[in-house]
Structure 1
């Protein structure tokens, strides 16, 4: 028998280190050739690490959340034959890492799976004490001012606590025992609710860590400013309903997003300074003729931004199909690095949960993100008459280092005009 060492592979794009997200095996497990043994995360996506050999796991070289260098030892496997141990560059820790539960959900849920494996610390056993005392409502039990203040702060009536001090005086120990006891809500003498004291430690690893790092970096480096404008989408919604009624069965149903993407690409023709990426270290702004639109999508593991490439060339239905395809890839954890990178501007929407206004964070190195709020019907004054219209806000953020306030306002006003007169979306 020999030992085969699997090293952290070179994933490409000049990446020197990756984060170990999740193990799918533990020490002692048998693995087959091409079986996925671990997930690692780069700046862009989660990557599966398969085993090139079959054998038994001897040791694991890291724990979830640990950042490992490319080329470092990932796992040791006992195999038939000589193995490749002599080629290993770095030893694995003498003590293998603790066993981890195998995931039971899709790859995009790695952060959730890791958290689920952590159990809350056990609660201390309750202190045994006598049943609550049934004093009269106007009876004032003996207690020091400090004990009375603690009871008041905790919302507890001292008349229900059995005192162990002289003449039945309620002591701090009596109060501690009362607080430690698990009293069902139905039996709470004051008619209140049961208290909870459980805690859970949740490590920030995997996708959640990457999101935190990117958001913090974006707020630290970019000079954010937001601009909110309301849009009358009554005519746009009427057009969308008509198109779905006529072609929904054959071409698929249209949501609002393809229309918004169309408005963005048409408006960008006159505002190319918005469709850029800014390399603040090299002090270079790159303008793009193509509109590669990132569409912020929420997965069970966290926020991801798949990219609709060359949105300027897509019809409404082609854009809708691509949005649906990318959303499915994100949900199932199959989105590739290429599908999650290269955007030049981002569109973010929470749909019916979009609220009235928001302040989205720019997706660096882009300089603009267009936020969509929910559609509501409300009274609007048009030509002196009060009418009911479908209104929606655009809440967008820009990097003030590159985008001037006037340019941002004019860009959003251009989008507004296109959305309020939807026929202009298709004029060349």
Structure 2
């Protein structure tokens, strides 16, 4: 028997530590190689940590919400292999206040049973040393809050889950897919055919299952429906949710917002969008968003104060020539703002393609760090939820954010005639320290001209 210490690797961007936002294992769990063990968050992204070995978890490096330094021990795993002392160094306490996390009686019984059935592998027979705190009870709730619904069983610590029944053609196809035993067990529990799961690598991982479920493709998976009042649940504000809270509070605290709303007749724009989609060929279907972004890019050169960033500590406003447009995107982990680089250089089809790519990457938690920062102006849309008007919060240090609202059909007067029209309210929130109300209103009126006469979007 030997102990393997998995140290938090350098995950780039020059960071010195990462925050634990979810544990997917607990002390006493039997894990397999490549099984997901934790989610670690840096300032820019969440990274999934996977075990490099199989064995039994004997130590965890802290509770959800705590930070771990790069190179420090994250998990200690008892294995059947032989690792040298240099690979499994003694661990120093992380804090002065430590907690011992002994195995429960059920875990000890299961461990003994597993050891009897698997001689030579073994299981932990002593509680975790006091140098590390065990995973907290709320880790399961926190993982669910961040989109990880499947957790290891608390009653069968070493169970690998049911396997698909033999003899079915789809089971043979799934068996040919490369995946760790833990991934196969989870897929079986959820009723997912691994052969139907798309992956960018040569094997299916937990993140691929998350994306598969998130997009509603799991035919055999049905979330339970509550029929009774649920108990109160205390959710620790950590990770992405904490960063959103801090950023929003800082934005409202530091920026004097004002919001301007204008009604826009998008009848012609919607008609043109329908014609473009009818003749799009293999190109992605156009929504309103790429047309709105194209109109914004046409408008901002005359209003450089809108496409800007304000460093209030240095007292400097930078008016940007290029439009790096942030696109507020809702994910299971919270609001994320991927950035479309050089939006002014893309046509509506290229914008539609990039919007789709970034949205899918955001929801699958696969955005790269350089796709999440450096925006100069943001658009936020509630999509089908619509809304009559919004007062969006500025994405600091930007100075403006634009929010289209739902499109409604209403009768309007055109001369002496009453006609049917498609109308949409457009909101813009601005930083009143650097953008005057007149400038914001003038910008929206110029933007309105492009949206109500959409042929101008394709004119030089």
What's the TM-score once normalised by structure 2's chain length?
Answer: 0.68
> In structure 2, what is the equivalent of residue 23 of structure 1?
23
Is this contact kept in 1: 2:64–2:135, CA < 8 A? no
> In structure 2, what is the equivalent of residue 366 of structure 1?
398
> In structure 1, what is the equivalent of residue 146 of structure 2?
111
Map 1:146-295 to 2 at 5 A: 198-247=231-280, 249-295=281-327
The CA distance in 1 between the partners of 2:83 and 2:15, in whole Å, is 33
Aligned partner (choices 323, 332, 336) of residue 355 of structure 2:
323
Between stretches 378-387 and 274-283, larger displacement belongs to: 378-387
Count of residues paired in the alignment: 350
The CA distance in 2 between the partners of 1:58 and 1:240, in whole Å, is 59
Map 1:343-354 to 2 at 5 A: 343-354=375-386
CA shift for structure 1 position 3 = 4.1
Q: Which has the larger radius of gyration?
A: 1
> In structure 1, what is the equivalent of residue 107 of structure 2?
none
Is this contact kept in 2: 1:4–1:83, CA < 8 A? no
CA shift for structure 1 position 30 = 4.8
Is the aligned partner of 1:417 residue 2:449? yes
The CA distance in 1 between the partners of 2:356 and 2:140, in whole Å, is 26
> In structure 1, what is the equivalent of residue 58 of structure 2?
58
The CA distance in 1 between the partners of 2:2 and 2:453, in whole Å, is 72
The CA distance in 2 between the partners of 1:276 and 1:407, in whole Å, is 13
CA shift for structure 1 position 241 = 0.6
CA distance 1:398–1:243, change in 2 (3 Å)? same
CA distance 1:83–1:344, change in 2 (3 Å)? farther
Is this contact kept in 1: 2:240–2:333, CA < 8 A? yes
Query: Structure 1, residues 394-426: CA drift from partner, whole Å, max 9, x if none?
Result: 111111122222211111111111101111112
> In structure 2, what is the equivalent of residue 39 of structure 1?
39
The CA distance in 1 between the partners of 2:52 and 2:150, in whole Å, is 29
User: What secondary structure sits across from 1:415 in the alignment?
Assistant: helix
Cα root mean square deviation, aligned:
3.1
The CA distance in 2 between the partners of 1:21 and 1:318, in whole Å, is 35
> In structure 1, what is the equivalent of residue 436 of structure 2?
404
CA shift for structure 1 position 251 = 2.0
The CA distance in 1 between the partners of 2:382 and 2:392, in whole Å, is 11
> In structure 1, what is the equivalent of residue 93 of structure 2?
91
Structure 2 residues without counterparts, runs of 5 or longer: 99-129, 155-226
CA shift for structure 1 position 43 = 2.5
Query: Structure 1, residues 290-344: CA drift from partner, whole Å, max 9, x if none?
Result: 2111111111222111111111111111111111111111222222222222221
Query: Structure 1, residues 147-167: CA drift from partner, whole Å, max 9, x if none?
Result: xxxxxxxxxxxxxxxxxxxxx
CA shift for structure 1 position 285 = 2.2
The CA distance in 1 between the partners of 2:87 and 2:76, in whole Å, is 9
Is this contact kept in 2: 1:23–1:37, CA < 8 A? yes
CA shift for structure 1 position 271 = 1.4
CA distance 1:333–1:195, change in 2 (3 Å)? closer
The CA distance in 2 between the partners of 1:381 and 1:285, in whole Å, is 43
User: What secondary structure sits across from 1:217 in the alignment?
Assistant: helix
> In structure 1, what is the equivalent of residue 48 of structure 2?
48
**After TM superposition, what 4+ stretches of structure 1 lie above 6 angstroms from structure 2?**
99-105, 114-117
User: What secondary structure sits across from 1:262 in the alignment?
Assistant: helix
Aligned partner (choices 375, 394, 401) of residue 426 of structure 2:
394
